[in-house]
Amino acid sequence: MDNSLNSVTEQAAALAQSGTTSSELVEKALDQFRSSQHLNAFVALNEKAVRRQAEQSDERRKKGRGLSPVDGIPIAVKDNYWTLDHPTTACSGAVPKIPEGQDATIVRNLREAGAVIFGKTNMHEWAYGATNTGSSIGPTRHPLDPNHITGGSSGGSALAVADGVVGAALGSDTGGSVRIPSAACGIVGYKPSYGRASRYGVLPLSWSLDAPGLLTRDVKDLLLLAPYLLGADPQDPSTFSARRFDPESTARGKKVLALTGPYLERRADVEDVIQGARERLGRDFDWNTVQMETMEPYFAAWEAILHSEASSYHQHLLQEKPDGFGDVTIAHLVAGNQLSAVEYLHAQKIRQQFMGILTVLFEKADILALPTLPVTAPGQDEVWQEFDGRRVTTQDSMTWFCWMGNLAGLPSITVPAGLAENGFPVGLMMMAKPGEDEYLLQTALQVQTVLQQSVVSEFA
């Protein structure tokens, strides 16, 4: 990978100082796109539209009329967002025709800021899976080893960033779909608080769990892009009381609580990396561990809500185009149809109990911490994962910790914590109270700074 000008922050600085042009950034991105096509990050890329956007940006900047710090920066978009210049398929053969012609709210926000909308990324069909192996155009492949998965469902977005095509990509996250591939590929992934970012124009999976999100190489990039992500949108009722991103907000609180216990197991090599990060962060953070009772009922509640809402959303499509869905997706949808209203409502009650548990935890801590994944990026053909006495499907291993942030609507982020013995990246996940996105991002920036410095000093 070519690491020059790869982060959004670096690109923005270079553009501001006329050290590069949007067209140069875009040509470099197109080169990288072509050289990494075997990894299968993109499902659609309208080169003409991309180049035109870059030229228009360069025109603006030449006249001193740049629209924002991100004017001219290429950003990739997951294929479940509507886009003006690309069709939307959610990487499913069953998708209804969604032609180009309209932007999702977040895409429009970025476009109005001058960002170059750089193609649509590969994803797990309908975002209904966390491995990214179930896609109409085939799986995404890990940049370190194509025989390993990237994780998903925003696998193409993670890959496009990790592989240096773009500095940022949009994703969506219902049980970890932004954070999972970010952690597996060694980049940063951020899921905002539920209801703080518009889902208008993003195909739903499970509307009470879904959040849009951003994948970048650096937490600083998130701080630069968050203003286009957060805030109320009249077209998404869940955002009615959403605050805009507040750049003046200053981080406070240094209490981190790491969670362990049944249904929170992880592989020893992953835990070693987290413990190493904890030691390096120990000077700046007051870090404690809490032994939880089993997470099983809450994990099951998340699954019941996910399957009920997904089957509800896909009800008509399943009748009209049953052959368009992949086998596993069909199985999920049929199973979801068997859930009763009473079971769904029971799951929502369990969800309320989980909120109560979190309220108690957040009285003791500002941040809840976990590995983002209990394992490193699995092999493409691995069906099962084993860790610390637990044997679960690779699918379940991907969402093993991430579902919490969706069930409770917490802002959540993964930052690279280091490499496991096998050379694959491990992510550290941090979650804050609902609405505390600014605090989470600023804390993540401190964490990133410490961990990067310590990497430098280890190798110095």
Q: Which residues are the active-site residues?
A: 78, 153, 177
Q: Is 162 within 8 Å of 218 (Cβ atoms)?
A: no
In the sheet where 367-371 sits, what is the strand order? 42-44, 116-121, 74-78, 168-173, 211-216, 188-191, 412-419, 425-431, 367-371, 255-260, 286-291
The residues that touch its own copies, with contacts defined as CB under 8 A, are: 237, 304, 308-309, 311-312, 315, 336-346, 349, 352
Tell me if residue 124 falls in helix, strand or coil. Answer: coil
Nearer to its own copies, 305 or 426 (CB): 305
Take residue 128 and report the two structure tokens written for it: 């209904």
Radius of gyration of the chain (CA): 20
Q: Cβ of 65: how many Cβ atoms within 10 Å?
A: 10
d(CA 81, CA 330): 22
The DSSP element (H or E) to which 455 belongs, if any, is: helix 437-459
Nearer to its own copies, 335 or 419 (CB): 335
Tell me if residue 371 falls in helix, strand or coil. Answer: strand
Nearer to its own copies, 359 or 422 (CB): 359
Contacts of 413 (CB under 8 A, 6+ apart): 179, 188, 189, 190, 191, 219, 222, 429, 430, 431, 440, 441, 444
Nearer to its own copies, 321 or 346 (CB): 346
CB 395 to its own copies: min, Å: 21
Nearer to its own copies, 268 or 345 (CB): 345
d(CA 433, CA 289): 18
Residues, the chain = 460
Nearer to its own copies, 114 or 336 (CB): 336
d(CA 396, CA 417): 22
Candidates 144, 226, 179, 120; CA nearest to 441 is 226
CB 352 to its own copies: min, Å: 8
d(CA 196, CA 199): 10
